[in-house]
Every structure is written in structure tokens, then in C-alpha cells.
Amino acid sequence: MDLSRSALKVFLAKGGNAVVFFAGITVFARELGASQIGVFFLFQTVLGLTTIVADVGVRGALEKRLSEGQRPDTMLATAMALKLLTVSGAIGVLLLARPYLNGYLGGEYTALLVVALVVQEFADLFIQAVRGELRVGETAIIEFAREAVWVTSGLAFVAAGYGVIGLMYGLVLGSATAACWAFAKLETTVGRPAELSAWSLYDYAKYYFLSSVSGKVYQWMDVAIIGLFLTYADVGAYEVAWEVTLLVLLVSKTLSITLFPQMSQWSSEAAIDRIEAVVPNAIGIALFLSIPAFVGIVVLNYEVLAVIFGSEYTIAAGVLVVLMLEKVFQSVNDVLGSTLRGIDRVDLVARAVVVTIAINLVLNVALVLSIGLLGAAIATTSAAIVQTLLNARYLSQNITLQIPYRLIAWCLVSAAAMGLVVVGVRAALPFGGIALLASCIGAGVASYFLFSFVVPSLRREVVRPGIRMLVSMVRPA
């Protein structure tokens, strides 16, 4: 697998996804208002949490086994059979809880939730199967198509007067598009399920399940608890802030997705030295972008929410700052967790997850009840910090883990200088609104890259390698 080309394809697709998704959320948030968009986010939350039961690690186990070349046709067929069982169980849970779910969501949405679950689970299964074939880059356009179909069809449904249910229809259409496309892309044929393959998948899935739960918990638990104790408008404002911060993880998620199958292959070949060489660089690149993003939000949190989404979302200005700090740690954790899974130590990832889920759940309930929206952000950020530290400790017990401390320090210095520039620009310019926000962001980006290029270690270890990687990515094979 060509890491550079795969990384480019994934990054461009995720960048495109982010632009399309962010534009869609901006329009939907303004058109529907905080309360209605909050209902949609709760629908997404229930869907996301239900996938814990609907997957139980099968997708990740299939990707791992396919990357190892273990009887691919049989593995795929067995994973599909297991997926039918797990999805059926999750549907049973949803139908049993239907009266409560409809009350929680504020409408008769459970039937649509079942359809969305089935389509999404098989879309994700086939996408991860393609990644398991070491063709990560080829899934990039599929992921982009999923987001594009959701946003465009959602806009059409909203314009036609369907309201929030139109966004749900769009979500189903997007996943259906991804499922069909990914299945058509698969080079592995569907064989016959086998008991031995099922046990092989189970051996990995039982640990991957817990590690995947972590992502679901971080993404959805705080929203679920806000939905229980606060209003739909609070859910809408909080989730809008969360979606803004997700933009920062473009690079680290790209690295995580691209590196996992390659780490798995190197691990099976006992090429630990290659893994040890890549991890510090990946951490440095992830932090190179997440640190200045945090500083920028510290300065511009209110303006970002007010100008882009509307004044009713500014109740989440403090939440935005705290969640952006969480993304700094999460960007590192993406690299650490992917590496641990790649070297087949998903059991250690699972161990960290058990601890952090408990922390997240207890703190969310306690802090949401005591201080509201900000409490949910603090709880989620605290759990993210603990998980990152635990994964770093576990990885260092299996390989020589070198944290690029000097690089991080220079990123902090450059980001602080950038923050001062943004403060000065905001104070000096005589206009406001989108023009002021765009000017501040532009000045911040330009000054940060200028400061970074001046620092020798950043120029040598991040900027120049990044330019060389981009050149190699776009050069014809």
C-alpha cells in the first residue's frame, strides 16, 4: 500500500466531507433552529449508540483479518453472517424501547431509526473490508459520496417542507449510496461462512469492540445525557460546537485510517523499527494543526458561533473552547490507538476504554446536572485526556515510543504568537461580521505558518516533509 497516495486520497475526501458537512449543518442550523436541529442530533445519537450493539467489533475484526490475508472470501462471508445476527439483536432492542425512544426523540422516529441502522452498518462493514484489502485510498470517494448525498438530499427535503425528518431521510440515502458503492468495490468474493473464521473474528472483535465503544461514547454519551436533562435547543447548540471542533481531527483521522492496515502488516512482519519511526512523526503532524486550532478558538469562540450559525448558538461558546482542548488530546490518541490496534494489542486499548467510559459516564451525569452544557464538555475532555495518557503508557510498553516534545513546544510558541496576531487584527479592524471573522482566520493561518517556517525544527520535521509528501502524492505513479 502506498501510504502517501492513500493519505492524500483520504485527506482530500475527509476535507471534502468536512466542507460539505459543515456547509450543510450551517444551513440546517439556521433554517431549522436550535431545537429542531437538536432533535436530529438526538436521532444521530441514538443511532450511534445502537451501533455498539449492532457491531460488537465485527467491522474492525474483518479489516484486521483481511489485512493479514487470512482466507478473505470466507472471512467476508462469516463477517456478513455475524453482522446479520448482531443487527437483528439491535433492532430487537430498538423495537422493545420504541415508546420510550419516540418520547425521547419527540416524534415517531423509531421505524426510521431501524432502517438507518441496517443501511449504515452494512455500509461501514463493506468500507472497512475495502480498507482491509489495503486499499484505504479507494474508500475516500465513497465516504465523500455518503456526505454529499446526505447534505444534498437533506437540503432538498428541507426545502420541500419535510423539516427535521428530511435530514433523517437524507442520512439513510447517504448510507445506502456508500453501502452499494463499497460492496461493488470489493475485490474479495463472498465465500461460505466457517466456524473457524468466526472464532478468528471473535478473538479480535472482543477487544476491538471495547476500543470502538470509546469512540461512540465520546461522540454521543454527552449529547444523550444533555437530551435527558436539558432541552432540544441545548442539544442543538452543544452538537454544533462539537461539529466545529471535529474539523481539527481531519489530519489525525486520516493518519489513523491510513496507518492501521500498514501497521498491521509491519507488525505481522516483525518490522517494529518501521512502526517506531512513523509514530513520532504522525504525532507531530497531528499536533502541528490541533494546537493552533485550540488557540484560535480561545480567541474567536463567540464570533465563530454567532457569525456562522446565529446568536442562539452562542450559549455553547465556553463549550467550544473546552471541546477544542479535547480535540488536541484526541488527535494524539487517534495515532496511539491506531498503532496499538495495528500491533494486535487491541486488548490494551480496551483496557483504557473501560476506565475512561466509567469516568465519562459518571462525570457527565454529575456535571450536566450541576453546571449544564459546560459540564458535559468538561466530562468528555477529562475522559479523553485519561485515555490518551493510558494509551501512551501501554504503547510505550510494547515499542519504543518517542514523544516529539521539542516539536510540541515550538508548536505552542508559534500558536501563542499567532493568537496575539489574531487579537491585534480583531481590535484594529473597523468592521465586524463575516468579514472580520474571515480576516482574523486568514491572518491567524498565515502568521502561524510563517512562524512555523522560521523555526528550524518545525521547518525540518513538519513543513518540508509535508511538502515532499504532497509532491509525492500528486506525482504520477
Q: Tens digits of per-residue pLDDT, 395-426? A: 888 887 888 888 888 889 999 999 999 999 99
Q: Per-residue confidence at 209, pLDDT binned at 50, 70, 90?
A: confident
Does residue 386 or residue 269 have the better pLDDT?
386
Give the amino acid at 441: I
Q: Are 26 and 307 in contact (CB under 8 A)?
A: no
Q: Per-residue confidence at 470, pLDDT binned at 50, 70, 90?
A: very low
130 burial type by CB count under 10 A (0-12 exposed, 13-18 middle, 19+ buried):
buried
Give the model confidence (pLDDT) of 325-334 as tens digits.
999 998 898 8
Q: Per-residue confidence at 270, pLDDT binned at 50, 70, 90?
A: low
* Predicted local distance difference test score (pLDDT) of residue 10: 60
How confident is the model over 356-376, as a mean pLDDT?
91
Q: Which of 244-248, 258-262, 271-275 has the highest average model confidence (pLDDT)?
A: 244-248
Distance in angstroms (rounded) separating the CA atoms of residues 288 and 407: 8
The secondary structure of 318-374 as a DSSP string is: HHHHHHHHHHHHHHHHHHHHHHHHHTT-HHHHHHHHHHHHHHHHHHHHHHHHHHTHH
Residue 199 has a CB neighbour count (10 Å cut-off) of 10
Q: The cell 436533562 sits on which residue? A: 229
Grid cell, residue 213, equals 465503544
Q: Are 85 and 121 in contact (CB under 8 A)?
A: no
Q: Which of 110-124, 125-139, 281-295 has the lowest mean pLDDT?
A: 125-139
205 burial type by CB count under 10 A (0-12 exposed, 13-18 middle, 19+ buried):
buried
Does residue 84 or residue 469 have the better pLDDT?
84
How confident is the model over 245-258, as a mean pLDDT?
72
Percent of the chain scored above 90 by pLDDT? 32
How confident is the model over 386-398, as a mean pLDDT?
90
* Predicted local distance difference test score (pLDDT) of residue 178: 92
Distance in angstroms (rounded) separating the CA atoms of residues 345 and 210: 12
Distance in angstroms (rounded) separating the CA atoms of residues 370 and 364: 10
Helices (H), 56-163: 58-68, 72-96, 98-105, 110-132, 140-159
**Of 377, 370, 244, 399, nearest in space to 306 by CA:** 244
What is the distance of C-alpha 225 from the center of its chain? 20
How confident is the model over 437-458, as a mean pLDDT?
85
Q: Which of 60-69, 156-165, 397-406, 445-454 has the lowest mean pLDDT?
A: 60-69
How confident is the model over 448-459, as a mean pLDDT?
78
Q: The cell 510498553 sits on which residue? A: 397
* Predicted local distance difference test score (pLDDT) of residue 467: 56
Q: Is the pLDDT of residue 208 over 90?
A: no
Give the amino acid at 8: L
Q: pTM of this prediction? A: 0.78
* Predicted local distance difference test score (pLDDT) of residue 296: 93
Q: Is the pLDDT of residue 475 over 60?
A: no
Q: Is the pLDDT of residue 215 over 60?
A: yes
Q: Are 239 and 38 in contact (CB under 8 A)?
A: yes
Distance in angstroms (rounded) separating the CA atoms of residues 385 and 267: 27
Q: Per-residue confidence at 358, pLDDT binned at 50, 70, 90?
A: confident
* Predicted local distance difference test score (pLDDT) of residue 408: 87
What is the distance of C-alpha 32 from the center of its chain? 25
What is the distance of C-alpha 51 from the center of its chain? 15
CA distances (Å), origin 339, targets 202, 231, 254, 394: 20, 39, 13, 11
Q: Are 186 and 128 in contact (CB under 8 A)?
A: no
How confident is the model over 80-94, as a mean pLDDT?
90
CA distances (Å), origin 196, targets 72, 74, 202, 250: 13, 10, 10, 37
Q: Could you say which DSSP state residue 161 is in? A: T
Give the model confidence (pLDDT) of 13-38 as tens digits.
666 667 777 888 888 888 888 889 99
Q: Per-residue confidence at 474, pLDDT binned at 50, 70, 90?
A: very low
Q: Is the pLDDT of residue 8 over 60?
A: no
The secondary structure of 260-275 as a DSSP string is: HHHHHHHHHTT-HHHH
Q: Are 391 and 214 in contact (CB under 8 A)?
A: no
Q: Is the pLDDT of residue 476 over 50?
A: no
Give the amino acid at 160: A
* Predicted local distance difference test score (pLDDT) of residue 354: 81
Grid cell, residue 18, equals 468536512
Q: Which of 43-52, 174-183, 245-254, 380-389 has the lowest mean pLDDT?
A: 245-254
